[in-house]
Chains A and B, each alone.
Chain A
Amino acid sequence: MIRVAENQRPQSVPGPQDVVRHELPNGIVVLVRENHVVPTVSVVGALQVGSINTQPSKEGLAGFTAAALMRGAGQRTFAQVFEALESVGASLAFGAGSHATTFSGQCLVEDLDLLLDLLRDALYTPAFPADQIRKLRGEIITGLQIQAHDTRHVSMNDFLKLAYPAEHLYSRNPAGSVDTVSAITRRDIVNFHHRYYGPRRMIIVVVGDVRAGEVLKKLEATLGRWSAAPGAPDSQLSLPPLQPLTAAHEKHAFVPGKSQSGLVLGAPGPCRSDPDYRAARLANTILGVFGLMGRLGSEVRDRQGLAYYAYSVLRVAPGPAPWFVTAGVSPDNVSRAVASIRDQVRRMQDDIVPAEELADNQSFLVGSLPLDLETNDGVSSLLLTMEMYNLGLDYLQRYPDMMREITAEQIQAAVRKYLDADRYALAVAGPEAAA
């Protein structure tokens, strides 16, 4: 079992004093934080490539490419990659979103060299074997077929199409559809990797039982040798301007054989870099997170018994990410649940949040930080977010004050700017199309 001496325990809030940030000559930004209490390492990171770089007719290409990276790389076949990883209980996985391709791995410290080798091979020299591409395509299509009958997925995808204009990146499902994924060829994947994968502005975060200097040396010798892909552009954000919704846009999709309806109601929210993002985040906590799902939980679930789940989400993205309420309700209760959700949005628009409720929510966001920082995985994913959004290495140290400074007026202004009880996108998916 593991002994922990007090002097081994890192300061509880990571910051410039114990996070090493170093940029390799090829542009990769490395963040390392030592934590010697358990013999494990968490490795996460991001590349600036995502569905923003794909044609809508090939939607799903970014995710397909990310998933294919491990299907044979460097000197190893698909089978050898996973024999190596799984035989030591380690993991490494890639996934793609709208703007970024991210990876996440975990291993015992004794297996870190192996994990970093596999990471380098997967990024730098993936083989994309034709038979593996065919197998993976079948697995992805099976997953998409399952999602097409899942009320939560159907309502979410429909919501995005209602909330954003058709040409907007965020109206699309980055996973694609059966049609678009069926059309993706091995050549598409090879070209996509060649064109967009590169070290420029890549981020890698290593947290755990390591020495920062040794990690930097290892990374310089492995990923540091990766030269920029020719023509890899900075995937600058080039999203079309967005007009606020001017009416209620609703869609009810029929998904046969289901017992429960899924619904999503909301609108485009702030960009992560917008000055009112923080107020919006606090507003979202009040609306549908705090305690057991905030005001929505108290009203829609607890008082009215309309739903097993009813909560709100403010997504984080470089662009105007969706801000929405989602609920799972009995088909007979859809109209009542929608009315109740709209009431709660209206209340946020019309009434200033009472001082005590504001203080409780601020206290929640500040007080939960030590829990997010308990594990290596928790720390690494926070450091990655901080680097991706240029929040600064002292972000977590400034965070409590930033949260406490937010006023009830700022919260109301953020809600009024982004959400409206009468102008929204609403998608319902379930056993019967409610009137």
Chain B
Amino acid sequence: MDQHQTSCTVLENGLTVLIREMHHAPVATFWIYYRVGSRNEASGITGISHWTEHMMFKGTPTFPSGELDRALARLGGQWNAYTSFDFTAYYQTMSASDIGLSLVIEADRMQNSLFDPAEVEAERTVIISERQGLENHPTFLLSEEVRAAAFRVHPYHHTVIGNMADLETITREDLYRHYRSYYCPGNAVVVVAGDLNGERMLAQVEERFGRLERGPTIRPVNSHEPEQRGERRVNVEGDGDTAYLLMSYRAPNVSDPDYFPLVVLGSALLGDSDGVAGGSTTNKSSRLYKALVETELAAGVDGGLSPSIDPALYSISATVRAPERGRNRSPIERLDLVESAIDAEIARLLESHPVTETELACAIKRAKASFAFGSDSVTDQGSWLGLSQVVAGSHTWFGGYLDNLQGVTLDDVARVAARYLDRRRRTVGRYIPGR
């Protein structure tokens, strides 16, 4: 058997189980993804998925608060959890011989988390503190406003952390209802990867999770963002010396045939594609780096696309460079120059200098390198397989990524460039310092 094949099994109660044998090191990782994130939140309870994630560390009758951390740490394990727009994910990575503990922990807290009222209140201040920490960064404030302007109808309008007013008023009952609605086998994906025997692992997962109730039927998110009819602009004014520009174009979701051509386009423009498989190369040979940083307008530029369930954003984010001493261009003048330079570069791409054969080949080679770099980490592999299953609907999206990228033609790239890099379908945000 190819040791890097992934098996996919759906248990009778609806739990999807992905297993991947990897024998490069005596370690294993266990991931559980729930199909719930800020995408599933309405106004009034924004941030509730993320807060629920925090409460999952606050105890069950079997593992009282703090016990789970201790049990994992004692084994030298690494663990964490993430909430995104589309999902909530938990993982543990440890010696392969100990990975059985993960099954015990996750099967338990899928159904038995306590949501003790005193713990909920203690966590409220922690979550508010987390939001305050984010607010300390101008780039967070700017991205929150751009997102809110770009999505008027779809719940991608909200950040994952949620609005302060909601964090102050969400109740224990709100949290518990959210938990009981979404934390069930029918709404979850388990991934186990590492130095293990696939068949035996599947039997263990079945034993632990197979008898859990499927859970309630979940109301699908049917929100569609209407067509955008013209550029939107937002300003954030605040303290500091540094101005930032964030330009976000409406982009396709992960399952759209336009997704991969847009990855190639992103690679040429910004060096980065969509971060899949976790490459670590720089972007100094990209078109926008040359247009903005080499010309001394910006100190850095990055951005790109993220795999998402619903259509989201393709973003370009620039940190405006400090002025030379003795030159007193205002932040607004410098922002104007950066924006004009991005517009000129995009016009050049659309009108006279489309993405080239060399740039296409680079995008593919870089993605190959990324996949190789990520392939000696069970944690990375588990993460991408789970994300692929939950966001793209199948783990094969991750497995087929390189093939799909290699199938992209220059005509595809030119077509998606014209379609998505349309200023009528973008939101431009500016952080203007010097209040």
Q: Given that A85-B282, A370-B25, A370-B26 are contacting pairs, would A291 and B242 also be in contact in the complex, using a CB cutoff of 8 Å? A: no
13 contacts between A and B (CB under 8 A): A37-B24, A86-B284, A89-B369, A89-B370, A90-B369, A260-B135, A302-B65, A305-B121, A309-B133, A328-B133, A366-B76, A371-B77, A375-B376
- Determine if A2 and B365 form an interchain contact, defined as CB atoms under 8 angstroms apart: no
Nearest chain A CB to B369's CB is how many angstroms away?
Answer: 3
Choose among A39, A367, A374 the residue that contacts B76 (Cβ–Cβ < 8 A): A367
* A257 CB-CB contact with B under 8 Å: yes
In the bound complex, residues from chain B placing their C-beta under 8 Å from that of A260 are: 129, 132-133, 135-136
Closest Cβ–Cβ distance, residue A364 to chain B (whole Å): 5
Chain A, interface size: which category? 35 or more
Asked if A146 is at the interface (CB within 8 A of a chain B CB), the reply is yes
Q: Which of A91, A142, A373 contacts B25 (CB 8 A)?
A: A373
Q: What are the residues of chain B within 8 A of A82 when measuring CB–CB?
A: 282, 284-285
Q: Which of B76, B239, B321 contacts A363 (CB 8 A)?
A: B76
Assess whether B239 is in contact with A86, with CB atoms less than 8 Å apart.
Answer: no
Are A307 and B241 also in contact (CB < 8 A) when A38-B375, A89-B366 are?
A: no
Q: Inside 8 A of A148's CB, which chain B residues have their CB?
A: 241
Q: State which residues 313-368 of B face A: CB under 8 Å.
A: 319-322, 324-325, 358, 362, 365-368
Q: By the criterion CB–CB under 8 Å, are B373 and A146 in contact?
A: no
* Alpha-carbon gap, A3 to B127, bound state (A): 44
Contact at A257–B238, with CB atoms within 8 Å? yes
- A366 to nearest B CB, angstroms? 7
Q: Is the CB of A291 within 8 A of B240?
A: no
CB-CB under 8 A for A107 and B369, given A145-B322, A150-B136 = yes
B241 nearest CB neighbor, chain A only = A145
Question: In the complex, are the beta carbons of B321 and A142 less than 8 A apart?
Answer: yes
Tell me whether A360 and B136 are in contact in the complex, defined as CB-CB below 8 angstroms, given that A38-B376, A138-B299, A328-B129 are known contacts: no
Q: In the complex, A348 Cα to B2 Cα: how many Å?
A: 52
Q: Which chain B residue has the least Cβ–Cβ distance from A12?
A: B26
Shortest distance from the beta carbon of B309 to any chain A beta carbon, whole Å: 27
Instruction: Flag if B70 contacts A141 (CB, 8 Å).
Output: no
In the docked arrangement, what's the CA distance between A371 and B362, Å? 32
B123 contacts across to A, CB distance below 8 A: 305
Given the known interface contacts A4-B23, A107-B369, A307-B129, the answer about A364 and B65 at a Cβ–Cβ threshold of 8 Å is no
The reply on A106 being an interface residue by CB < 8 A is yes
Instruction: Enumerate chain B residues within 8 angstroms of A2, measured Cβ to Cβ.
Output: 4, 375
User: With A1-B4, A257-B435 known to touch, is A87 a contact of B365 (CB < 8 Å)?
Assistant: yes
Q: Is A239 an interface residue (CB 8 A)?
A: no
A108-B369, A145-B322, A368-B78 given; A139·B299 CB < 8 A? yes
Q: CB distance A86 to B25 under 8 Å?
A: no
Chain B residues within 8 Å of A98, by CB? none
Interface size class of B (residues with CB under 8 A): 35 or more
Q: Which of B3, B73, B435 has the most CB of A within 10 A?
A: B73
**Scoring A residues 75 to 95 as 1 if CB is less than 8 Å from chain B, else 0, what string do you get?**
000110011011111110100
Q: Is B281 an interface residue (CB 8 A)?
A: yes
Interface members, chain A 368-423 (any B CB < 8 Å):
368-371, 373-376
**B197 near A: Cβ within 8 Å?**
no
- Chain B residues, CB < 8 A from A315: none
How many angstroms between the C-alpha atoms of A91 and B283 in the bound complex?
Answer: 10
User: B126 to A90, Cβ gap below 8 A?
Assistant: no
Report the separation of the CA atoms of residues A377 and B320 in the bound assembly, to the nearest whole angstrom: 33
Nearest CB of chain B from residue A155's CB, rounded to whole Å: 12
Q: Looking across the interface, which residue of chain B has its beta carbon closest to that of A134?
A: B296
Contact in complex: A329, B76 (CB < 8 Å)? no
Across the A-B interface, give the 10 residue pairs with the lowest CB-CB distance, nearest first.
Answer: A367-B76, A89-B369, A257-B239, A291-B69, A368-B76, A142-B299, A305-B122, A259-B132, A260-B132, A89-B366
Q: Cβ of B239 and Cβ of A369 under 8 Å apart?
A: no
B3 touches A106 (CB 8 A): no
* B323 nearest CB neighbor, chain A only: A138
Most A CB within 10 A of own CB, among B22, B129, B280: B129
Flag whether B271 is at the interface (Cβ < 8 A).
yes
Q: Mark A334-368, 1 if CB is under 8 A from B, else 0.
A: 00000000000000000000000000100111111
Instruction: Tell me the bound Cα distance from A151 to B137 in angstroms.
Output: 10
User: A139, B300: Cβ atoms under 8 Å?
Assistant: yes
Q: Taking the nearest CB of chain B, how far is it from the CB of A403, in angstroms? A: 11
Chain A residues within 8 Å of B75, by CB: 363-364, 367
Closest to A327 in B: B129
Which residues on the A side are within 8 Å of B23 (C-beta)? Answer: 4, 6, 9
Least Cβ–Cβ distance between A76 and chain B, in angstroms: 12
**CB-CB contacts below 8 Å: A220-236 with B:** none
Q: Mark B118-130, 1 if CB is under 8 A from A, else 0.
A: 0001111111111
For the A-B complex with A305-B124, A370-B25 known, give 10 more contacts whose Cβ atoms are closer than 8 Å.
A6-B23, A38-B375, A38-B376, A87-B362, A89-B365, A142-B322, A145-B240, A256-B239, A303-B122, A370-B76
**B296 cross-chain contacts in A, Cβ below 8 A:** 134-135, 138
Binding site for A on B (CB under 8 A): 2-5, 22-27, 57, 65-66, 69-70, 72-78, 93-95, 121-133, 135-137, 238-242, 271, 279-286, 290, 293-294, 296, 299-300, 319-322, 324-325, 358, 362, 365-370, 372-373, 375-378, 435
Indicate whether A301 reaches chain B with its CB closer than 8 angstroms: yes
**Cβ 8 A contact of A139, one of B25, B27, B122, B293:** B293
Q: Is the CB of A292 within 8 A of B372?
A: no
Chain B: minimal CB distance from A101 (Å): 18
Measured between alpha carbons, how far is A234 from B316 in the docked complex, in Å?
Answer: 46
Q: How far is the CB of B79 from chain A (nearest CB, A)?
A: 9
* A143 at interface, CB cutoff 8 A: yes
In the complex, A298 has a CB within 8 A of chain B: yes
**Bound state CA distance, A310 and B272, in angstroms?**
33
Pick the contact of A40 from B122, B322, B367, B376 — CB < 8 Å? B376
Q: How far is the CA of A91 from the CA of B65 in the complex (A)?
A: 42
Interface hits, A1-15 → B, CB 8 Å = 1-4, 6, 9, 12
Q: Given A138-B322, A151-B136, A368-B78: A292 and B285 within 8 A (CB)? A: no
Nearest-neighbour CB distance to chain B for A84, whole angstroms, equals: 9
Bound complex: CA A209 to CA B176 (Å): 50
Query: Chain B residue with minimal CB distance to A290?
Result: B73
Q: A108-B369, A139-B293, A371-B93 are in contact. Are A364 and B74 (CB under 8 A)?
A: yes
Question: B287 to chain A: closest CB distance in Å?
Answer: 12
Q: Which residue of A lies closest to B23 (CB)?
A: A4
Q: Write out, one digit per residue, whether chain A residues 99-114 have a CB within 8 A of any chain B CB (1) or not (0).
A: 0000000111000000
Contact B281 A138 (CB under 8 A): no
Expressed in whole angstroms, the minimum distance between the Cβ of A184 and any Cβ of chain B is: 13
Contacts of A37 in B (CB 8 A): 24, 376
CB 8 Å contact bits of A111-152 with B (1 = contact, 0 = none): 000000000000000000000001100110111011011110
Mark interface residues in A1-32 (1 if CB within 8 Å of B CB, else 0): 11110100100100000000000000000000
